């Protein structure tokens, strides 16, 4: 698996986590604002194929729960 695929898998995992959490706890919707900002940055890095940003973001994404 290459770096871009790994980041995309983590983004997908985190989006599923957010969706599930919001469904279970609708009052906690604002708690994921920082996650959404990080996911937008990851999407941008994938779109632009920015390997440096992707490499920096991957450990951060893996640590998000």
In the chain, how many domains are there? 1
Beta carbons of 40 and 47 less than 8 angstroms apart = no
Burial class (CB in 10 A: 0-12, 13-18, 19+), 59: exposed
pLDDT of 45: 95
pLDDT of 29: 60
- Give the distance, in angstroms, between the CA of residue 38 and the centroid of all CA atoms in the same chain: 6
Which residue in this structure is represented by tokens 């937008």? 40
Helix-helix angle 3-24:51-62, to 10 degrees: 40
Integer-rounded Cα radius of gyration of the chain: 12
pLDDT in tens, the chain (65 residues): 799 999 999 999 999 998 888 888 767 566 788 899 999 999 999 999 999 999 999 999 999 88
Range of the domain at 28: 3-62
């Amino acid at each position: 698996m290459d770096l871009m695929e790994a980041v995309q898998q983590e983004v997908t995992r985190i989006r599923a986590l957010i969706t599930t959490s919001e469904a279970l706890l609708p009052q906690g919707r604002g708690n994921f604002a920082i996650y959404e900002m990080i996911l937008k940055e990851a999407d941008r890095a994938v779109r632009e194929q920015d390997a440096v940003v992707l490499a920096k973001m991957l450990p951060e994404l893996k640590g998000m729960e």
